[in-house]
Structure 1
Amino acid sequence: MTLLIRGGTVVDSIHSYRADVLCADGKIVQIGTGLDAPAGAVIVEAGEQLVMPGGIDPHTHMELPFMGTVASDDFFSGTAAGLAGGTTSIIDFVIPNPRQSLLEAFNTWRGWAEKAASDYAFHVAVTWWDESVHREMGVLANEHGVASFKHFMAYKGAIMADDEILVNSFRRALELGALPTVHAENGELVYQLQKQLLAEGKTGPSSHPLSRPSAVEGEAANRAIRIAEVIGVPLYIVHVSAREAVQEIARARGEGQRVFGEVLGGHLLLDDSVYLDSDFTRAAAHVMSPPFRPKEHQEALWQALQAGHLHTTATDHCTFCAPQKAAGKDDFTRIPNGCGGVEDRMGVLWHYGVNSGRLTPSEFVQVTSTNAARIFNLYPRKGAVEVGADADLVVWDPNASRTISAKTHHQNVDFNIFEGRTVQGLARHTVAAGKLVWSDGDLRAERGAGRYLPRPTFPAYFQANAKRVGRSG
């Protein structure tokens, strides 16, 4: 298929300029002014709109089996919804059960993802440790293109990685040149606070944030950063929600440590008052971990995003409908943790970031696409508008607006955490692998069109970094 985007303003992570973009066979093949459309080409008239790299959501959980149920968005519905919002690639998580083979779990997730409508990659979680995990991390990195491994510092008694697992896995990641990532919450503190609240008869959703105060995130972020410092490996911290965690990241980066931070659109915009809703269904719909914080944390997150201490924006897209959330009606610890957002991330970031003056259009591209591509070794195949890159593009209308609602979104869930917000700036057209998959409200997602994205590791750089800080060699 050949497609010509004509007359728009190309915006990448550095600059903007007027140009046409010609795509063929899934790639960008020419960028320039006054390009001729080949016979039979699909033409998109961009006019005064912006042409940007398609969004990359580096943190999703499609059809995740979790807390006794399965996330309601599968790899098709979730990626299709992403396309409607301008996101053309996701990085999802393979989460093995304790004692389960990492390769077995990886193959299971690969099977589920065959229905994806957009391209996808995987992080693989390390939930236990022995010599077989050490070996399989190598197989995943060297033979399957897994360049990042996840560690949950929370969820005691299930998938929590203790310090011994962190040390062993971080060392192995350093050997392989794979990036360790962490969910930073002190799992023991959370567990003890949950028990205390339940014993006091505080069983509703309002207890969820009380069981996971910001200090437990700050402590875990600091611990993971210090372990990474001693070992000499870079570190990526997912869904940073608390001022304390931001401070630890900024400190480490100021001392020359390679630490990257991710923030969710929800944590930038929502506060913990959502858990005080007298309607259980509405309050429970917001239960995710880390929880939404008091308002003062939001400003700290925005400032960190502007300052470059936080590098990517994600969603932690993990959707559960009201009947699923009702499992925790009498015990907040049984409410399945997760919220949606893959369709709305780009829109809310533009409206509250660019329209407010917090971000420039190029900075928007950085935090929604390019930085994720660079950190997770997909660049310049992804995250760039340049010849040879994948033709994953969004034609963005900065003047168009829409009101977000569960009644009109494409996500397979009955609630939207951004319900009722009107945002200005939206994806008018989305191009994935050179095909027009979203056009003026018409979703043309194809089941199974998405491709798996193997990612090379960084062994030479990681070893050099370790030697630089005096921890290896």
Structure 2
Amino acid sequence: MTTIIRGGTVVNADRAFRADVLRYGDKIVAVGESLDAPASAKVIDAGGQYVMPGGIDTHTHMNLPFMGTVTADDFFTGTAAGLAGGTTTIMDFVIPAPRQSLIEAYHTWRGWAAKSAGDYTFHVAVTWWDDSVHADMGTLVREHGVNSFKHFMAYKNAIMADDETLIKSFSRAWELGALPTVHAENGELVFQLQQELLKKGMTGAQAHPLSRPPAVEAEAANRAIAIAGVLNTPVYIVHVSCAEALDAITRARANGQRVYGEALAGHLLIDDSVYRHADAAYVAGHVMSPPFRGKQHQAALWHGLQSGNLQTTATDHCSFCAEQKAAGRDDFTKIPNGCGGVEERMAVVWDAGVNSGRLTPSEFVRVTSTNAAQIFNMYPRKGVIAVGADADIVVWDPQGTRTISARSQFAKGGFNVFEGRSVRGIPTTTVAAGNVVFHGGALTAQEGAGRYVERPAFAAVSAR
């Protein structure tokens, strides 16, 4: 069946204009005023609303085995929650265990993701190095449409990549036309700070941010950027949370280096006062890495988005229930790191960004969808309302309101870091691959309907 979205204002990253949008199959087939449509076409009334490309969350962890447990959201519940919030594509992470084949881990994650309700694609982590990793990276790029590789500079004695691994993996990514991405925290320094805090008897969740101060993130960001600069390799820094890490990105970009930065919705809106709450379970619910920062860092991140030095917004959606978080009741280093947000990202960024005047609607589209599609080579299939693009569409009511609560969320875990926040600007309809999956508050996402998105390699900029 054909679907036509009538009477709305199309908002793309470059402009906004009044137009109808016609969908046939899983593609947009026409965009224009007063479009003709078959009498049998399903009509969606977008009068007084915006029609935008579906959101792309560049950073999620569904069904992740981590710190002795597995996230509450699997690929169905997590992607379905995203659809309810206007996110139609997620970029998740394949994280091999040390010494595990990257190809083996990739196929495991593909199996888990088969139940996705929305489209998905993968970054693959490089957690160790030998000749087989070098070969597997080539296979992933050439045969499986992977064009980005993740490097954890944190989590010592687990998945932390040392400098040798970074250098060899960055070089291999350059050869393949792939983009290295980095979790920037000095893992050795975090480990030492954790041990010192525990020795002082600081075992509760309140100690978590003390073990990961901004300087720890800034050092790693500067080091990753320096390594990438020497190797002439672009680099993407995930979940930038502090002004000092942003400064490193800004300096590098000013010097002509290809460095990209990602801000999390949580880091943009939530400050470190959550770690001073009297309820230990509440504090544990906010344990993630990097942790939430002081308000001055939030202001810096918004400036980064406004200036273009940060290009994307994400969530690091990694949900755990209270019972899972309680594993670290007597030792904060054992609290599973992670918070939710895939369902709320679009609304909270709109409310705090567009309603405040920090972002225009087109800039909102840029940082929630288009930039991600372009940086990771999914554009113009994703990230734009245009003929030939995937019919991933969000009808957005700028005057619609909701109050965020764990009681009414679709995501699992029973906790929401945005609890009680009222937002103005919400999705009324989400179309994914041409199918209406959310409308008027009702979620009709289907398990297994999501598609794996292959991302071609980039052409090398120049010969080394």
TM over 0.5, yes or no? Answer: yes
Match of 1:101 in 2: 101
Q: In structure 2, what is the Cα distance between the partners aligned to 1:337 and 1:306?
A: 29
Q: Displacement of 1:119 after TM fit?
A: 0.4
Q: Do structure 1's residue 48 and structure 2's residue 87 form an aligned pair?
A: no
Match of 1:297 in 2: 297
CA deviations over 1:222-279 (Å, ceiling 9, x no partner):
0000000000000000000011100000000000000000000100111111111121
Q: Displacement of 1:460 after TM fit?
A: 2.9
Percent identity (aligned): 68
Match of 1:200 in 2: 200
Q: Displacement of 1:459 after TM fit?
A: 3.1
Q: Is the CA contact (8 Å cut-off) linking 1:175 and 1:459 kept in structure 2?
A: no
Match of 2:122 in 1: 122
Match of 2:330 in 1: 330
Match of 1:162 in 2: 162
Match of 2:79 in 1: 79
Q: Is the CA contact (8 Å cut-off) linking 2:242 and 2:297 kept in structure 1?
A: yes
Q: In structure 1, what is the Cα distance between the partners aligned to 2:299 and 2:184?
A: 20
Q: Is the CA contact (8 Å cut-off) linking 1:88 and 1:432 kept in structure 2?
A: yes
Q: In structure 2, what is the Cα distance between the partners aligned to 1:460 and 1:375?
A: 14
Give the RMSD, CA atoms, in angstroms: 0.6
Say which is worse superposed, 35-44 or 188-197, in terms of deviation. Answer: 35-44
Say which is worse superposed, 36-45 or 342-351, in terms of deviation. Answer: 36-45
Q: Is the CA contact (8 Å cut-off) linking 1:37 and 1:43 kept in structure 2?
A: no
Query: Where do 1:19-418 residues align within 5 Å?
Result: 19-418=19-418
Q: In structure 2, what is the Cα distance between the partners aligned to 1:419 and 1:136?
A: 42
Q: In structure 2, what is the Cα distance between the partners aligned to 1:458 and 1:339?
A: 32
Q: Displacement of 1:295 after TM fit?
A: 1.3
Q: In structure 2, what is the Cα distance between the partners aligned to 1:395 and 1:346?
A: 12
Q: Displacement of 1:304 after TM fit?
A: 0.8
Q: Is the CA contact (8 Å cut-off) linking 1:404 and 1:419 kept in structure 2?
A: yes
The letter of the residue matching 1:136 is D
Match of 1:451 in 2: 451
The letter of the residue matching 1:378 is M
3-state DSSP class of the match of 1:459?
coil
Q: In structure 2, what is the Cα distance between the partners aligned to 1:457 and 1:369?
A: 20
Match of 2:5 in 1: 5
The letter of the residue matching 2:174 is L
3-state DSSP class of the match of 1:60?
coil
Q: Displacement of 1:286 after TM fit?
A: 0.2
CA deviations over 1:12-50 (Å, ceiling 9, x no partner):
001011000000010000111111221322110000100
**Normalising to structure 1: TM-score of the pair?**
0.98
CA deviations over 1:335-382 (Å, ceiling 9, x no partner):
000000000000000000000000000000000000000000000000
The letter of the residue matching 2:303 is Q
Q: Is the CA contact (8 Å cut-off) linking 2:175 and 2:460 kept in structure 1?
A: no
**Normalising to structure 2: TM-score of the pair?**
0.99
Q: Is the CA contact (8 Å cut-off) linking 1:268 and 1:298 kept in structure 2?
A: yes
CA deviations over 1:311-341 (Å, ceiling 9, x no partner):
0000000000000000000000000000000
Q: In structure 2, what is the Cα distance between the partners aligned to 1:20 and 1:300?
A: 38
3-state DSSP class of the match of 1:181?
strand
Give 4+ residue runs of structure 1 displaced > 6 Å after superposition.
none
The letter of the residue matching 1:329 is R
3-state DSSP class of the match of 2:124?
strand
Q: In structure 2, what is the Cα distance between the partners aligned to 1:189 and 1:433?
A: 45
CA deviations over 1:162-214 (Å, ceiling 9, x no partner):
00000000000000000000000000000000000000000011100000000
3-state DSSP class of the match of 2:138?
helix
Say which is worse superposed, 159-168 or 32-41, in terms of deviation. Answer: 32-41
Q: In structure 2, what is the Cα distance between the partners aligned to 1:39 and 1:281?
A: 55
Number of equivalenced pairs: 464
Match of 2:440 in 1: 440
Q: In structure 2, what is the Cα distance between the partners aligned to 1:398 and 1:12?
A: 15
The letter of the residue matching 1:48 is G
Q: In structure 1, what is the Cα distance between the partners aligned to 2:247 and 2:391?
A: 38
Q: In structure 2, what is the Cα distance between the partners aligned to 1:341 and 1:133?
A: 32
Unaligned residue ranges in structure 1 (runs of 5+)? none
Q: In structure 2, what is the Cα distance between the partners aligned to 1:263 and 1:423?
A: 19
